[in-house]
Structure 1
Amino acid sequence: MLSSTLKVSITSTLTVTPLRSSRSVITTPHAAFMVPLSPCSLSLSTAPLRFTTTLGFAAARATFGSSSSSQSSASTSETLEENVVVDDNVGAKLNLREDGTSQRFYRRAGVQYQGNAKAYVVTLDGSVLRTPARRPLTFASQTLAQAVAAEWEYQDARAIRPFTMPLMAISSTSVDRTPYMRNDIVENLIKHLHTDGALCRNPSEGRALHPAFQPSEEDQAHVNKLSSQLSKVQAALLDPVLRRVENVLGDGATLVPSDSLLGAPQSEETEDAVRRHAKSLDDAELTALDALCSSCKSVALGIALFHRLHEPLDDAWINNSSEYPATDDDELRDEARKLRFGDPQVSLPVLLPRVEEEWQAVNWGVVEGGHDIDRSDLKVRVYAPMAFLRLRQEP
């Protein structure tokens, strides 16, 4: 019988890495939307192994076993499940199908005020909703509770689609995961600060094309021109945001971009400033910040959107003000505005994490079913934590 050890890393998706195996097969069906979490690992030793988990309302299944059919009859299985549950008298749970949906088990969702907890709760057919780990899920803000209840209320009559419930995912994650992983989350942000997407820039002078392409001098000159333009557009769009983030962090924090392939190393002072800022947040705020940083692939942009530092720039961007992008070159400003793709209302929270990708799409073409879906997905991933933070401030 095949004996193997698996290391399961739970991040924004579920990945299964065989450390020791022979003739093994790994299959991982599509995982639905979830709020990204900082890595935690789980080691299991069995042969073969079937591992099933539901985390943050996303289903991800991985099957590991020998490719030999003669061993299939001797297979063993082990299942770990976390389900959305309500009060024990209902006993309902969210058993996800292969497509990431579940049968709807309730008629109406609502909100109630609990005097003993001095907080609001979401109810399903009158029973109090709990987190996947069966912990109480309470809200100080009635507005946020109503928004979460609306996610449950407006599910399809035949199926629940958890990937359309980002506010519920953030809320439950802030209760079930963040309080027990705060240090891991903070240090994970520090780790990724040195490969921050907003700090890793395109080289201003371009790079030589590979000889295998047999580039002409004209080809190389064209690539150098585009590379230089992209570098300037990145600076014009991102640098004003970075300066605002530095002001929020204080304590000598300086965000230094780099065009190195090895990332953009930051100073210890900047690390300490980011660490202090993250540790000063409560569990719900830290969950939202972690989700923003993961979605933007940038700690700096995550902090900027967390504090809504982009809003004055967003107004200038939408109104075609000369104040933003930050350049005196009218031609370069026009090049930057091409990234709107004909939508004058496209906002910076969606554009800033995708500056380089949108630039490539403008110059080399859009992949239908690729770039457009990525933009829509990013809107959900970015605006959900921002809405969560705003709704928490409402009564």
Structure 2
Amino acid sequence: MCTTKDPRVLAAAVRPRSLHHLLAPRSPSRFHSSHDRPAKVVPVAGPDSAREARIVRRRKQADMLRLAKNLRAAARAQMAAGPAPQHQSSRTGALLRKRFWKDVHVKEVEGAYEVHLDSRPLRRPDNKEVIRLPLSKPLLAHALALEWDHIMSAAEATKQHLIPLTSLTCRALDIRDDDAGVAPPTPAPVRTTIAATVLRYLDTDSLLCWAPPAADAEPSLRARQEAAARPVVDFLARRVWPAAALVPALDAAAAAAASLVPPALPPATRAAVRAWVLRLGCWELAGLERAVLAGKGLLAAARLVAEWSEHGAGVVRAAEGAARFGVEEAARAASVEVDWQTRRWGEVEDSHDVEKADLRRQLGSVVVLVSGRGKVVDGDRPVQPGLPD
């Protein structure tokens, strides 16, 4: 019930509704309030992987460009400020990357040859003494100079395989100092140690270990071994070790005994060989050691040293017109078996060819070391003064 006394309110309350309102149809009763056309559910898609990868790549490129810009700015600032002082390690590295000499030449100083790097004489690495060579060895002096002229940096000068002739020369000088008693003390004399080392290769020398005879008439390994060994063994038995009996270790007698281990040579033979080794000069002894270790045999090394020794190495005088024994002959005598196998099966590239070149390089250094102008010559061959014909 309306309780207000305002005539306008009372008139509105009793005013009848419009006809349109009364005639409008009523909507049916509904039990839910959802829309008649529900929305379509679409799965939510994630970000585009290709687009995101492009964004990441562009960010990295921007960072790199920013870093390069900063580096260029820092370099310009450093150039404007002048070079910064280098640390000691930086200066040392710069020196090792380049050689500190320009010219290499040989000088005769106080009755000996010296190799000079500009004005600095070449020195031994252990005691820093100047390397002085006899005047009878000009070939060795100039070979040392050529070796150091090929060195491109000070770092290369510390690698033994790049200066093989220098290391061999220093080995000979070490033997000389040890003989004179001016070298640092060692458990055993250097000469005795070298003799024991090279004698280990005598019993198993490839020139004394031959393959069994072949059953067929085709050229065999045994024939090649005999052809390489006979001249060397005959030369050593007649002119170097007359008291030694050099017999093949794996010949018919060893095969009949069914022994896989070669028998040792007679004690008299070993004594004669050892006495000859101990009598060698420092240059010949160092060369013999290098040749034995390079060719893995004593006979070919002794033959090479006896052929080219400046003082003859105790060799009995040779007849005129005898065949020379050089680097190529020594290399072939030391590698008969390898040559036989490679002829049958082929060479391994960068293996057999490298070994061949290295063997000849080392044997060549031996010839340069032991040879000289001070030897007595008969028919252009080395002889020992005072020995009978």
Identity of aligned residues (%): 26
Aligned with residue 107 of structure 1, among 102, 105, 113: 102
After superposition, the C-alpha distances for 1:48-72 in whole angstroms (9 at most, x for unaligned) are xxxxxxxxxxxxxxxxxxxxxxxxx
Q: Structure 1 residue 234: deviation in Å?
A: 0.4
Equivalence for 1:231: 222
Amino acid at match of 1:129: L
- Pick closer, same or farther for the CA change 1:126–1:158 going to 2, 3 Å: closer
Amino acid at match of 2:230: D
Instruction: Report whether the alignment pairs 1:190 with 2:225.
Output: no
Tell whether the 8 Å contact from 1:148 to 1:167 is kept in structure 2 after alignment: yes
Tell whether the 8 Å contact from 1:257 to 1:264 is kept in structure 2 after alignment: no
Instruction: Report whether the alignment pairs 1:275 with 2:280.
Output: no
Amino acid at match of 2:173: V
Equivalence for 1:379: 360
Q: Based on CA coordinates, which of the two structures has the bigger radius of gyration? A: 2
- Pick closer, same or farther for the CA change 1:192–1:238 going to 2, 3 Å: same
Task: Give the Cα separation in 2 of the matches to 1:126 and 1:303.
Answer: 38
Q: Structure 1 residue 245: deviation in Å?
A: 1.0
Amino acid at match of 2:168: I
Amino acid at match of 1:299: L
SS of 1:110's equivalent in the other structure is strand
SS of 1:245's equivalent in the other structure is helix
Query: TM-score, normalising length from structure 1?
Result: 0.56
> After the TM superposition, which residues 1-395 of structure 1 pair with which residues of structure 2 at under 5 Å, given as runs?
103-115=98-110, 118-133=111-126, 134-141=128-135, 142-156=138-152, 160=156, 162=159, 163-176=161-174, 179=178, 180-204=189-213, 225=216, 229-259=220-250, 261-308=260-307, 312-313=322-323, 347-391=328-372, 393=374
Task: Give the Cα separation in 1 of the matches to 2:263 and 2:225.
Answer: 15
Per mean C-alpha deviation after superposition, the further-off stretch among 292-301 and 188-197 is 188-197
Task: Give the Cα separation in 1 of the matches to 2:303 and 2:103.
Answer: 37
Q: CA RMSD in A?
A: 3.2
Task: Give the Cα separation in 1 of the matches to 2:352 and 2:276.
Answer: 33
Tell whether the 8 Å contact from 1:110 to 1:126 is kept in structure 2 after alignment: no
Per mean C-alpha deviation after superposition, the further-off stretch among 171-180 and 381-390 is 171-180
Tell whether the 8 Å contact from 2:301 to 2:330 is kept in structure 1 after alignment: no
Q: Structure 1 residue 251: deviation in Å?
A: 4.0
- Pick closer, same or farther for the CA change 1:160–1:249 going to 2, 3 Å: same
Q: Which structure shows the higher helix fraction?
A: 2
Tell whether the 8 Å contact from 2:104 to 2:148 is kept in structure 1 after alignment: yes
Task: Give the Cα separation in 2 of the matches to 1:120 and 1:347.
Answer: 29
Q: Structure 1 residue 375: deviation in Å?
A: 0.7
Task: Give the Cα separation in 1 of the matches to 2:219 and 2:261.
Answer: 20
- Pick closer, same or farther for the CA change 1:313–1:204 going to 2, 3 Å: farther
Q: Which structure shows the higher strand fraction?
A: 1
Query: TM-score, normalising length from structure 2?
Result: 0.57
Tell whether the 8 Å contact from 1:140 to 1:392 is kept in structure 2 after alignment: no
Task: Give the Cα separation in 2 of the matches to 1:301 and 1:196.
Answer: 9
- Pick closer, same or farther for the CA change 1:352–1:154 going to 2, 3 Å: same
SS of 1:122's equivalent in the other structure is strand
SS of 1:235's equivalent in the other structure is helix
Tell whether the 8 Å contact from 1:174 to 1:283 is kept in structure 2 after alignment: yes
After superposition, the C-alpha distances for 1:269-296 in whole angstroms (9 at most, x for unaligned) are 1111111111111111100011111112
After superposition, the C-alpha distances for 1:322-365 in whole angstroms (9 at most, x for unaligned) are xxxxxxxxxxxxxxxxxxxxxxxx93222111101100111122
Count, aligned residues: 247
- Pick closer, same or farther for the CA change 1:314–1:281 going to 2, 3 Å: closer
Tell whether the 8 Å contact from 1:121 to 1:145 is kept in structure 2 after alignment: yes
Tell whether the 8 Å contact from 2:97 to 2:153 is kept in structure 1 after alignment: no
Amino acid at match of 1:155: I
Amino acid at match of 1:104: R
Tell whether the 8 Å contact from 1:143 to 1:392 is kept in structure 2 after alignment: no
Task: Give the Cα separation in 1 of the matches to 2:133 and 2:221.
Answer: 44
After superposition, the C-alpha distances for 1:222-251 in whole angstroms (9 at most, x for unaligned) are xx6599811122012211211101122334
Task: Give the Cα separation in 1 of the matches to 2:291 and 2:218.
Answer: 28
Q: Structure 1 residue 129: deviation in Å?
A: 1.5
Task: Give the Cα separation in 2 of the matches to 1:278 and 1:103.
Answer: 42
Amino acid at match of 2:142: Q
Tell whether the 8 Å contact from 1:253 to 1:269 is kept in structure 2 after alignment: yes
Q: Structure 1 residue 143: deviation in Å?
A: 3.5
SS of 1:111's equivalent in the other structure is strand
Amino acid at match of 1:293: V
After superposition, the C-alpha distances for 1:186-238 in whole angstroms (9 at most, x for unaligned) are 12222221121221222335xxxxxxxxxxxxxxxxxx659981112201221
Task: Give the Cα separation in 1 of the matches to 2:168 and 2:287.
Answer: 7
- Flag structure 1 segments of 5+ consecutive residues without an equivalent: 1-94, 206-223, 318-345
Task: Give the Cα separation in 2 of the matches to 1:283 and 1:226.
Answer: 47
- Pick closer, same or farther for the CA change 1:158–1:193 going to 2, 3 Å: closer
